[in-house]
Structure 1
Amino acid sequence: MLVLAGCVFAVAAAYAEVTVKVKDIVIIDGLKENQVFGFGLVMGLQGTGDSQSVLTQSALKNLLKNVGILEDETIKSKNTAAVLVTGKLPPFVRVGDKITVTVSSIGDAKSLEGGVLVQSPLRGA
């Protein structure tokens, strides 16, 4: 009887040392990353932006109109590029959490390096 009790305690002690988190072995149905995307402008490109993109000119013109800077003038700037912004929202993300995004040129910009992405609303894919 004493030997049996010793075996039970040895097995119980072995199980007590194993630590497994439920999140590491269980997948909860419905929890997934959500893809997001949006359109934006990268500014301050020092001549490496889009050359004659109507999309870029139109977006820049609308941006400047919305802040009251521009009326009805033609804009030609190689310092701006139209971009697509994509990212993934992990499960349980909250307002204010940071996520990693990818910024890709839509037009013929030579480089986005050194530019600043203007605030770009993202929506679910």
Structure 2
Amino acid sequence: MAGAADELSLVFQALADPTRRAIISRLRGGPTTVGELAEPFAMSRPAISQHLKVLERAGLIERTADAQWRRCTLRTEPLDEASAWVDRHRDEWNERFDLLDERLRELKGQTDA
């Protein structure tokens, strides 16, 4: 179980950065070269490469070499696992928020009286 939790941590850490989220969004359209991925960002190629390494380590992308082209492909399995984890906990979080809301209304009623 610790392995799965560690992998999930890598996914959430990778998704925490807006540049990496934008890269993932661009990859939804299909495999893309590193150069094409770098185009819209005002940063150096080494900086883009660092972001790609984080995404690759989290299992969110796969990089392949095809002649002189380096292509990146989105891997959705880690995103599916992260989504499933959130879904499993959503009911518990909503229940706790409902209880908190109820308690705050009780406290407000006590101060209004």
Query: Which interval holds the TM-score relative to the shorter structure?
Result: under 0.3
The answer to which structure has the higher strand fraction is 1
More helix by share: 2
Please report the TM-score for the alignment, with normalisation by the length of structure 1. 0.21
TM-score by length of 2: 0.23
Greater RCO, 1 or 2 (C-alpha within 8 Å, sep 6+): 1
Give the number of the structure whose alpha-carbon radius of gyration is greater. 1
